[in-house]
């Protein structure tokens, strides 16, 4: 059977299994890889070999990094470091720019923490801002959600972009820089989009009633003080929120930020050392501590012994076990994506498709953009879309003449589009922002279409100059 037809049948099987059956993405991807291999004419033995080899090679490159990244993210979540960073940004930016505070907090927190968890953690801050400043949760919740969303899809060591970098053979440090350079302008655009949405839907303001059972006596005094200042027209400052938001003792701000910043700086240091051509013992030391595995392990040590130093040994290990339980799911799906990619590579389907596209004189940048969207739209999981999309595009990249970084960013950006009712994050943003489904579809879902379109245009422009 023609390889391209085999691929189309395989993708149809994948989408059917994920959308219409009880089968999880991991076995669905493995079944798809085997289906494509057999339909393409590989022997059963060669098909199984290509599948297992692809699975093993993928996990060999990024499996440990995903596990360590999940542990780091879980400690940031459980320790209260995410809230501490949000309050620190609040001091720097000011209450008047509450939406920017929320967006920046999400932007930073989602680098190691899954966006779902990050939104749940920071939504309390958004609700307090809305209740006191009388700003709509459509705007505040939306920019918080988008700040989390952008780095979740674009910046390693979040599993999705990490898997894309691994599949396409891109240096992790380079992809961190590229992801940030793409995420920053999109975040600025998102601020204006959600400010407009906030003004268009002004009724979604948190009620001015307080559930006193959720606050300590000291915090209730803070609430009264804030209420009096608001009524008198006095300007609120960040200090007014600190005791109110912190329902538990929060860690040191410096340690909270360093937990994220140090591994990223170490990875980037290794990347720049390669570019600068540093050799000898210095290169070996930088290569060791700047490898993603060691850099994230150093972050874990900071998390355990500085960020969460009050935890006893048993509790700290329990936190790690919970993190690894979450990581296991991502690791298996990522490995399965690698299996699918290797089967496509072995059967030469990617090369055949790439040559056909070149003969059609179609702009090659459209290929990863379309693949990312097609992988995301039917089944809702952005991580699965990134893993599957990068596996499909990887064999085509050399033939198409695409820069792997551009191809990787294209997959990541379009895997955002759209977030609607088949996406768990849609329900997190909707429910924790206090929105109804129709309003969320008209605002949040629309924004998750607009932002990837703008990102795609920016990528196409950049690609035209490369």
State residue 230's pLDDT score.
64
- Could you tell me what percent of the chain has a pLDDT over 70? 92
What pLDDT is stored for residue 375 in this prediction? Answer: 86
Picking from 246, 253, 348, the residue whose alpha carbon sits closest to that of residue 307 is 253
Residue 300 lies in a domain: yes
Q: Look up the domain containing 264 and give its range.
A: 259-308
pLDDT of residue 431 exceeding 80: yes
The dihedral sign for the CA sequence 350, 356, 358, 362: negative
Q: In whole angstroms, what is the distance from residue 336 CA to residue 346 CA?
A: 15
Three-state DSSP class for residue 250: coil
Which of the two residues, 351 and 297, has the higher pLDDT score?
Answer: 297
Q: CA angle 125-126-132, nearest 5°?
A: 90
pLDDT at 214 over 60: no
Question: Is residue 230 included in any domain, yes or no?
Answer: no
pLDDT at position 465 over 60: yes
Identify the pLDDT of residue 87: 81
Tell me whether residue 29 is in a domain. no
Total domains in the chain come to: 1
Residue 432 lies in a domain: no
Mean pLDDT of 1-14: 83
Cβ neighbors of 259 (< 8 A, separation 6 or more) are 72, 75, 76, 81, 299, 302, 303, 306, 307
Q: Is the pLDDT of residue 1 over 60?
A: no
Write out pLDDT tens, residues 80-136.
Answer: 888 788 888 888 887 788 899 999 999 999 998 888 888 988 887 888 788 877 899
- What number is the average pLDDT over the span 426-434? 91
pLDDT reported for residue 91: 80
Lowest-pLDDT choice from 9-13, 38-42, 76-80, 436-440: 76-80
- State both tokens at 207: 């009620």
Establish if 53 belongs to a structural domain.
no
Residues 151-209 have pLDDT tens digits of 999 999 888 999 999 999 999 999 999 999 999 999 999 999 999 999 999 989 877 65
In this predicted structure, the answer to whether residue 244 has a pLDDT above a threshold of 70 is no
Which pLDDT score, from 0 to 100, does residue 124 have? 78
Strands (E), 133-176: none
Rounded to the nearest integer, the mean pLDDT of the chain is: 87
Write down the pLDDT at residue 240: 64
SS3 (DSSP) at 203: coil
What percentage of the chain carries pLDDT values higher than 90? Answer: 45
- Residue 147: pLDDT band (50, 70, 90) is very high
Which of 175-189, 311-325, 399-413 is the least confident region? Answer: 311-325
Q: Which of the four pLDDT bands, split at 50, 70 and 90, describes residue 378?
A: confident
């Amino acid at each position: 059977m023609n390889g391209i037809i085999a691929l189309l049948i395989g993708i149809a099987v994948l989408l059917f299994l994920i959308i219409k059956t009880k089968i999880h993405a991991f076995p669905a991807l493995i079944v798809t890889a085997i289906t494509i291999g057999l339909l393409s004419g590989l022997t059963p033995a060669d098909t199984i070999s290509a599948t297992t080899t692809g699975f093993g090679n993928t996990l060999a490159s990024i499996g440990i990094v995903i596990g360590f990244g999940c542990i780091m993210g879980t400690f940031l979540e459980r320790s209260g470091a995410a809230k501490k960073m949000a309050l620190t940004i609040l001091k720097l930016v000011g209450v008047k720019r509450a939406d920017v505070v929320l967006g920046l907090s999400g932007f930073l927190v989602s680098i190691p923490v899954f966006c779902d968890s990050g939104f749940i953690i920071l939504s309390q801050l958004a609700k307090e801002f809305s209740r006191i400043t009388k700003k709509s949760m459509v705007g505040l919740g939306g920019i918080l959600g988008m700040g989390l969303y952008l780095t979740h899809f674009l910046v390693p060591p979040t599993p999705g972009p990490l898997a894309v970098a691994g599949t396409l053979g891109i240096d992790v440090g380079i992809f961190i820089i590229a992801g940030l350079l793409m995420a920053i302008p999109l975040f600025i655009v998102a601020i204006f989009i959600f400010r407009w949405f906030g003004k268009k839907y002004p009724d979604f303001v948190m009620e001015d009633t307080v559930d006193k059972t959720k606050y300590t006596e000291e915090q209730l005094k803070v609430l009264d003080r804030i209420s009096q200042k608001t009524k008198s027209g006095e300007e609120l400052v960040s200090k007014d929120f600190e005791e109110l938001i912190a329902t538990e003792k929060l860690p040191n701000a410096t340690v909270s930020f360093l937990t994220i910043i140090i591994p990223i700086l170490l990875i980037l240091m290794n990347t720049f050392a390669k570019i600068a051509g540093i050799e000898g013992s210095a290169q070996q030391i930088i290569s060791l501590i700047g490898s993603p595995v060691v850099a994230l392990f150093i972050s874990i040590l900071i998390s355990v012994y500085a960020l969460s130093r009050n935890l006893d040994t048993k509790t700290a290990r329990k936190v790690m076990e919970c993190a690894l339980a979450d990581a296991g799911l991502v690791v298996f799906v990522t490995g399965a994506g690698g299996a699918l990619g290797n089967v496509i590579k072995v059967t030469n389907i990617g090369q055949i498709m790439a040559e056909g596209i070149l003969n059609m004189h179609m702009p090659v940048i459209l290929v990863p953009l379309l693949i990312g969207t097609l992988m995301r739209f039917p089944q809702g999981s952005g991580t699965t879309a990134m893993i599957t999309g990068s596996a499909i595009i990887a064999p085509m990249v050399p033939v198409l003449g695409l820069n792997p970084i551009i191809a990787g960013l294209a997959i990541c950006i379009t895997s955002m589009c759209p977030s609607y009712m088949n996406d768990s994050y849609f329900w997190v943003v909707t429910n924790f922002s206090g929105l109804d489904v129709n309003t969320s579809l008209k605002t949040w879902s629309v924004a998750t279409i607009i932002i990837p379109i703008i990102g795609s245009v920016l990528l196409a422009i950049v690609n035209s100059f490369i």
